[in-house]
Amino acid sequence: MRRAAVKGGRAGSRTARRGPGRGKADAGLRGLAPALLVDLYVTMRRIRRAEETIAALYPEQEIRCPTHLSIGQEAGATGVCLALRPTDTAVSTHRCHAHYIAKGGDLRGMFAELYGRATGCCGGKGGSMHLTAPEVGMLGASAIVAGSVPLAVGTALAARMAGADEVAVAFFGDAAMEQGVTHESLALAALRRLPVLFVCENNLYATNTPLRTRQAGRDMAARAASHWLPGVIVDGNDVVAVYRVAKAAVERARRGGGPTLIEVKTYRFREHVGPNYDIDLGYRTQVELDRWMAREPVGGLARRLERAGVLPAARRVALDTQVEAEVADAVAFAKASPFPEPAALFADVE
Amino acid sequence: MRRAAVKGGRAGSRTARRGPGRGKADAGLRGLAPALLVDLYVTMRRIRRAEETIAALYPEQEIRCPTHLSIGQEAGATGVCLALRPTDTAVSTHRCHAHYIAKGGDLRGMFAELYGRATGCCGGKGGSMHLTAPEVGMLGASAIVAGSVPLAVGTALAARMAGADEVAVAFFGDAAMEQGVTHESLALAALRRLPVLFVCENNLYATNTPLRTRQAGRDMAARAASHWLPGVIVDGNDVVAVYRVAKAAVERARRGGGPTLIEVKTYRFREHVGPNYDIDLGYRTQVELDRWMAREPVGGLARRLERAGVLPAARRVALDTQVEAEVADAVAFAKASPFPEPAALFADVE
Amino acid sequence: MRQLKYREAIDEATRQAMAKDERVFVMGVGVDDPKGIFGTTRGAFEEFGSSRVFDTPLSEAALTGMGVGAAMRGFHPLLVHARNDFLLLTMDQIANNAAKWRYMCGGKLKVPLTIRAIIGRGWGQAAQHSQSLQAVFAHVPGLSVIMPATPADAKGLLMTALSSDGPVICLEHRWLYDKSGPVPEDTYYTPLGVGSVVRPGRDVTIVAVSHMVLEALQAAEALAGEGIEAEVIDPRTLRPLDSALICRSAARTGRLVIADTGWRSYGVSAEIAARAAEELWGLLKAPIRRVALPEVPTPGSSALETPYYPGAREIVAAVKQSLEG
Amino acid sequence: MRQLKYREAIDEATRQAMAKDERVFVMGVGVDDPKGIFGTTRGAFEEFGSSRVFDTPLSEAALTGMGVGAAMRGFHPLLVHARNDFLLLTMDQIANNAAKWRYMCGGKLKVPLTIRAIIGRGWGQAAQHSQSLQAVFAHVPGLSVIMPATPADAKGLLMTALSSDGPVICLEHRWLYDKSGPVPEDTYYTPLGVGSVVRPGRDVTIVAVSHMVLEALQAAEALAGEGIEAEVIDPRTLRPLDSALICRSAARTGRLVIADTGWRSYGVSAEIAARAAEELWGLLKAPIRRVALPEVPTPGSSALETPYYPGAREIVAAVKQSLEG
Ligand SMILES: Cc1ncc(C[n+]2csc(CCOP(=O)(O)OP(=O)(O)O)c2C)c(N)n1
Ligand SMILES: Cc1ncc(C[n+]2csc(CCOP(=O)(O)OP(=O)(O)O)c2C)c(N)n1
Ligand SMILES: [Mg+2]
Ligand SMILES: [Mg+2]
């Protein structure tokens, strides 16, 4: 198990503050194209605003499906997916909005799906937990914890058999490490040295249950060792760190170096499912939440890029406005779209 | 992961020869009661002769069930079970004869079960793969690889809830490490610090498939790390070494120190299932088989105890004769026993 | 009599069973969570504490095996799942171990294990969170399968499950938790294999399972308005199944409609229909009708949920077809 | 025509499908083993090598998920299990993923995955190695379930499965592998959902599944000796099920006996009986009879296997009951 950076792994703690103080050059950004850095920002911003919009609209009760928001966790999906090509594939979980968007999934298709419309990315049949966009390599998501993990091993196997140098990513949460099939999958990928990235977004909770009551240790990456593949821990609120770790693992996988388990240490701001905050439930402390909110990744990157002179405030505002327009357009599209015909019920079965 | 002894872990290799040369005192036996050492021998001898007898009688086609023999692997079951109390529990696999006998199961009940008789330890309903003797803590076996592993975690949990200081043992093979439920079980036991011994008898093969084509690494004990419990490797053909490792793990578990994964490196002499040798199948070499047979545990301990003056030849011959009589009696009992009445078919269901 | 909600009846049964028998304990994902499992386990947690009611990792298969092991060691675990879809992860432990261990060891050991799981429905939970898998479990010898539809049965059947010495699968429909009904305060044990006549009638027999009992009662109400008296029977337990009660009723009414919350083909409605057809030879006035889910996974969109789920309307239609012969 | 054994027909279908379509590959525990899977996969291994036919770890759940993933990526995995009992470890991947993925994503992705598994019987394999679990799979929309009983159907149905674009479960009874029958040498595709009349007759219809087809033919032979002409129908596939063929025959004979290799309650025989009862109203001369396994796990002792398994004798008895009305 390796820690990607001194500051990695102790996410939420003092040492994890990103970037240098004023003035000093930001070593963390060295060697990364400005366009990429801006893309990282815009993608995270798109995820954030799309989900904040879902939260805002949810009370209208027109989004009639459970929604698991990733607000606060945008850096994991973004850092990993921007290290991928469209031909690389990803599978996800119940909390799949960020992965769908970061992989390049169409916002209109996503909102229409949440609204249960025929124009949704799954024709209205899947809902929030099964977002799919094969055209950009997003192969869908399972609402069964860890259910999609072995699928990535299979797509990686298929890619190799097809002679393609694609990489397959499985996104999953910390609780998925408690499912046997995840361990079987890690071991299988290691055995066959398949090009798989196992990305565990450790947000410290499963529903309202803290990690410590579910697992004897704290680091998910440690669990790679016994399956003979490398495990890396990265600060999941530092999208640049995530990108670098993912990029290295992707290149290694493409070269035939085999799979990597990447643990992305991060934190969920809202309730497990639904639009609200849930501090009232008492399963976590305000102090903990505040500490993580202080390290919120989207604004964090904005400030950092501004400081580094990569993304001046003015340009950022323009980009933000663009994102607002995209989201508004997607919502309008969804609301204006027709519901599926009853006949659709019987299509796409066998 | 710890290696129990310099010679542990490289079972089958030069360095693994047990005991000292002529003359020198046998440090490996130090501190162990002669009665225990003799018991280790007699138990292994009982297993060996019972199974050789099954092999000899199998062609008669009166034992009408698949039999998975442990010939060559007697030290694992024996070393572990003699470190247990009758109130401690064990569950096993398709290859359960040795565990049943070592735990103290009745030979008559075992042979009658193999012969499908009403007097069998399972009333004839289970056969060779489900030997059960709750009166001595043998809680049965599953023919589904790894199927019984979590049961030991449950009996350990129950024992603790009952305020009893019992230890639960799960015996399983190297292939069971490939089943997700084994990993879930290791993690659960570690999380709750339950008194469980996970005993993986690594005989290097699953049916006719070598370990290297199934797992990326060689040491099963290494797989404990990612579940945060200790893993120990021991020379599985050295019953004394196995006993010492098991004893330590049992005492630790009884004290509330939690579970241990013990990897017993050993080797199966006969075919996966059935009475014959199978070198003709070509999945393993004669050289490999010979090397392991040279380290055959029963005769090995006999010579060692004789050298150490613990068990003189004359006394051993007497004990061997006694074992022959036990086995002969069990076979006679089985053959003379009635088959279950058809009505038994409908008993013991709900 | 005192009214309780279905969820409260389950909570009460759990606490009374735990008070009577210290071998009973509760485990499962979220069982100590105030919001978890519709509040059916929180009461037990507060009364008996974390030693007898504890949250678990997401390791459903191993947890089930743990339950089997603890049961063999003399306890009675109550394993709780937020959705019956998750039971598919535990089929090996349920069907190969829990259901068979007692048989395989010739009765030397028993496996008193109760597994509760919820049937989801609605709000776009879609294909993996809204299945109704009772037929899968009811097919396996060695298991008992109960599906209480009323608060009283929820308490009585769960009490029986928690005092029985074999594995019992208890499937609870999500839409029942807030329904109220009379529930005796003392402990009582509703026997397995005994159905109940929820509403007497002479013209047609409607056998309904779980939430379909409520739909059947609505249907019966509507039919009564047209002068059709439907008898509604709730088998309450699927394994064992009270075919005698069903057949007595249908023999009298001459007409049988079966309403299940699961898929039609190879489902619960098939077994009930098959038994009735066997035993009611010459006694039926019309073909048996089945009301069950169409042969597709659960769709996500609310626009598709509506045509997906049959209810009182479809039961009424089936009854009328049956009356037309 | 050329005679082949059932095992040889499967081997040939596998090799022909792989030759025609490079997307087909084979994986499973022991598939490259000369003794493995009754020699049905070794031929493909020798012809196509370890890149397209490979042995695997004992990780049935993940392997099934791998199959789903590889299928979504454009391949057609043939996943092979030595016993259908092991499928219980993979129910989540089969029922929650393979069967539903296509539906959940609105048809954007397909899951062409074929899973072969063997139904064990005899020689004291006992409860965990001798189940016949077809009803469990046949209940799940999104899956196809095939159970070839003859070498010709084994080849034709497997060819169809390997060229179909959805998940197919193929269950093969252990006692069929050494049976011989005519098998065309060229590739051919036996359609799903089309049963076959294995033996024509006018007095009674016997619907038999998998190995029960052979028992039914023996029964028919014996009955013919007494002047009773039984028509034996093999549905061949359970999902989709050719009820039309069954009903046409039973409408003509007026009598129906169903013989399944699985348990009776909530089993395959129930669905067939339920459909027949629905569609043959007024056309049957006697109650439908079911011949299936008793409601207990498989016993180990040969002395108990005999009374456990029904066969030709029980079918004959059922037919006679049916003829007595
Ligand atoms: C097998 C299974 N068990 C339980 C659930 C219910 N459930 C849905 S999400 C969730 C928590 C998952 O936690 P984690 O994997 O850490 O992902 P996160 O929600 O934190 O992103 C649970 C318990 C489920 N969907 N699948
Ligand atoms: C889940 C499952 N898959 C496959 C099998 C078939 N099978 C029986 S024993 C065996 C090999 C097991 O190897 P191992 O666990 O190393 O035990 P050993 O036989 O070497 O003692 C296999 C593959 C099974 N019984 N269960
Ligand atoms: Mg989490
Ligand atoms: Mg082995």
* Residues of A with Cβ-Cβ distance to D114 under 8 angstroms: none
Among C268, C279, C300, select the one facing D266 at the smallest CB separation.
Answer: C268
Q: Say how far apart CA D318 and CA D223 lie, in whole Å.
A: 11
Angle at B204 between CA B201 and CA B207, to 5 degrees: 95
* Ligand 2 proximity of B157 Cβ (cutoff 6 Å): no
Pairing label, strands B205-206, B209-210: antiparallel
How does residue A3 score in pLDDT terms, banded at 50, 70 and 90? confident
> Which amino acid makes up residue A322?
Q
The active-site residue, picked from C76, C81, C129, C173, is: C129
Side-by-side strand order, sheet with C204-208:
C196-199, C230-234, C204-208, C256-263, C289-293
What average pLDDT does the segment D212-228 reach? Answer: 98
pLDDT of residue A120: 98
Are A142 and C128 inside 8 Å of each other by CB?
yes
Are B180 and A178 inside 8 Å of each other by CB?
no
Pair of tokens at residue B134: 């709750």
Among A153, A156, A349, select the one facing D62 at the smallest CB separation.
Answer: A153
Q: Which residues surround ligand 4, an ion (CB under 5 A)?
A: B 173-174, 203
**The pLDDT of residue A103 is above 70:** yes
Closest residue by CA, ligand 1 atom 12: A206
Q: Say how far apart CA D209 and CA D258 lie, in whole Å.
A: 8
Are A217 and B228 inside 8 Å of each other by CB?
yes
How does residue B15 score in pLDDT terms, banded at 50, 70 and 90? very low
Known catalytic residue at D76: no
* Residues of B with Cβ-Cβ distance to D127 under 8 angstroms: 125-126, 130
Cis status of the peptide bond prior to C240, with omega within 30 of 0: yes
**The pLDDT of residue A6 is above 50:** no
Residues B224-260 pLDDT 10s: 988 999 999 999 999 999 999 999 999 999 999 999 9
* Ligand 1 proximity of C82 Cβ (cutoff 6 Å): yes
Q: Say whether residue A141 is in contact with chain C using an 8 A CB cutoff.
A: no
**CB atoms closer than 10 angstroms to residue A118:** 18
Which chains have 3+ CB pairs within 8 A of C? A, B, D
pLDDT of residue C325: 75
Q: Say how far apart CA C302 and CA C305 lie, in whole Å.
A: 5
Are B158 and C65 inside 8 Å of each other by CB?
no
Q: Do residues A311 and A305 make contact, with C-beta atoms less than 8 angstroms apart? A: yes
Phi, psi of D259 (to 5 degrees): -125, 120
Residues D261-309 pLDDT 10s: 999 999 999 999 999 999 999 999 999 999 999 999 999 999 999 999 9
Q: Say how far apart CA B114 and CA D302 lie, in whole Å.
A: 11
* Ligand 1 proximity of C231 Cβ (cutoff 6 Å): no
Q: Say whether residue B209 is in contact with chain D using an 8 A CB cutoff.
A: yes
How does residue A19 score in pLDDT terms, banded at 50, 70 and 90? low
Q: Say whether residue C45 is in contact with chain B using an 8 A CB cutoff.
A: no
DSSP, collapsed to helix, strand or coil, labels residue A247 as helix
Q: Across chain B, how many H-helices and E-strands are there?
A: 10, 9
Pairing label, strands C289-293, D3-5: unpaired
Residues B182-217 pLDDT 10s: 999 999 999 999 999 999 999 999 999 999 999 999
Provide the CB-side half-sphere exposure for D135 (13 A, CA): 31
Among B130, B134, B185, select the one facing C104 at the smallest CB separation.
Answer: B130
pLDDT of residue C36: 78
Q: Average pLDDT of chain C?
A: 97
Q: Do residues C320 and C144 make contact, with C-beta atoms less than 8 angstroms apart? A: no
Residues C133-184 pLDDT 10s: 999 999 999 999 999 999 999 999 999 999 999 999 999 999 999 999 999 9
Q: Average pLDDT of chain A?
A: 94
Best mutation target, C59, C66, C301, to test chain A (most A CBs within 10 A): C301
Tell me which residue of C16, C55, C52 sits closest to C32, measured CA to CA. C55
Q: Say how far apart CA B197 and CA B247 lie, in whole Å.
A: 10
**CB atoms closer than 10 angstroms to residue C322:** 24
Residues D57-85 pLDDT 10s: 999 999 999 999 999 999 999 999 999 99
The Cα of D186 is separated from the nearest Cα of chain A by a number of Å equal to 27
> Which amino acid makes up residue D292?
A
Q: Say whether residue D145 is in contact with chain C using an 8 A CB cutoff.
A: no
Lowest mean pLDDT, pick from A99-103, A225-229, D16-20, D255-259: A225-229
Q: Average pLDDT of chain D?
A: 97
pLDDT of residue B25: 84
DSSP code at position A133: B
Tell me which residue of D127, D260, C74, D136 sits closest to B348, measured CA to CA. D127
Say which residue the tokens 């360095």 belong to.
Answer: B15
Q: Say how far apart CA A43 and CA B223 lie, in whole Å.
A: 38
- C147 to each of A64, C115, C122, how far by Cα in Å? 28, 12, 19
DSSP letter string, D170-226: EEEEGGGTT-EEE--SS---PPTT--EEEE--SSEEEEE-TTHHHHHHHHHHHHHHT
Q: Say whether residue B130 is in contact with chain D using an 8 A CB cutoff.
A: yes
- Using a pLDDT cut of 70, give the percent of chain D over it: 100
How many Å lie between the centroid of ligand 4 and the Cα of residue B96? 13
Tell me which residue of C305, C59, B23 sits closest to A184, measured CA to CA. C59
- C94 to each of B96, C131, D7, D91, D127, how far by Cα in Å? 22, 18, 32, 12, 13
Q: Do residues C126 and C158 make contact, with C-beta atoms less than 8 angstroms apart? A: no
* Ligand 1 proximity of A145 Cβ (cutoff 6 Å): yes
> Which amino acid makes up residue D142?
G
Atom of ligand 1 nearest to the CA of A145: 26
Q: Say whether residue B217 is in contact with chain A using an 8 A CB cutoff.
A: yes
Alpha helices in A14-148 (DSSP H): 34-57, 74-81, 97-102, 107-114
- B80 to each of B162, B242, B263, how far by Cα in Å? 24, 6, 11
Q: Do residues C85 and A94 make contact, with C-beta atoms less than 8 angstroms apart? A: no
Q: Say how far apart CA D318 and CA D308 lie, in whole Å.
A: 16
How many residues are recorded in chain D?
325
Are B130 and C105 inside 8 Å of each other by CB?
yes
* Ligand 1 proximity of A174 Cβ (cutoff 6 Å): yes
DSSP code at position D317: H
Are B124 and D304 inside 8 Å of each other by CB?
yes
What are the residues facing A199 on neighbouring strands?
A: A171, A262
Which residues, numbered 124 to 183 in chain D, qualify as contacts with chain A under a Cβ-Cβ cut-off of 8 Å?
141-144, 166
Phi, psi of B162 (to 5 degrees): -80, 0
Are B175 and D297 inside 8 Å of each other by CB?
no
Task: Name every residue whose Cβ is closer than 8 Å to that of residue A68 and which is 6 or more positions away in sequence.
Answer: A94, A95, A96, A97, A128, A129, A272, A273
Closest residue by CA, ligand 1 atom 21: A173
Residues A148-180 pLDDT 10s: 999 999 999 999 999 999 999 999 999 999 999
Q: Say how far apart CA C193 and CA C246 lie, in whole Å.
A: 12
Q: Say how far apart CA A80 and CA B301 lie, in whole Å.
A: 57
Atom of ligand 1 nearest to the CA of A175: 15
Q: Say how far apart CA B8 and CA B20 lie, in whole Å.
A: 15
Task: Name every residue whose Cβ is closer than 8 Å to that of residue B100 and which is 6 or more positions away in sequence.
Answer: B92, B110, B121, B131, B132, B133, B138, B141
Are D139 and C141 inside 8 Å of each other by CB?
no
Q: Do residues B176 and D58 make contact, with C-beta atoms less than 8 angstroms apart? A: yes
DSSP, collapsed to helix, strand or coil, labels residue C210 as coil
* Ligand 1 proximity of A38 Cβ (cutoff 6 Å): no
Cis status of the peptide bond prior to D240, with omega within 30 of 0: yes
The Cα of A69 is separated from the nearest Cα of chain C by a number of Å equal to 15
Closest residue by CA, ligand 1 atom 8: A145
Among B214, B222, B227, select the one facing A216 at the smallest CB separation.
Answer: B227
- ipTM value for the complex: 0.97
How does residue A25 score in pLDDT terms, banded at 50, 70 and 90? confident
Q: Report the greatest alpha carbon distance in chain A.
A: 63
pLDDT of residue A4: 67
Task: Name every residue whose Cβ is closer than 8 Å to that of residue B237 and which is 6 or more positions away in sequence.
Answer: B11, B16, B18, B72, B75, B265, B266, B267, B292, B295, B296, B297, B300
As a whole number of Å, the end-to-end CA separation of chain B is 43
How many Å lie between the centroid of ligand 4 and the Cα of residue B177? 10
CA-based R_g, chain A, Å: 19
DSSP letter string, C73-135: TT-EEEEEES-GGGGGGGHIIIIIIITTHHHHTTTSS----EEEEEEP-STT--TTS----HH
Q: Do residues A113 and A62 make contact, with C-beta atoms less than 8 angstroms apart? A: no
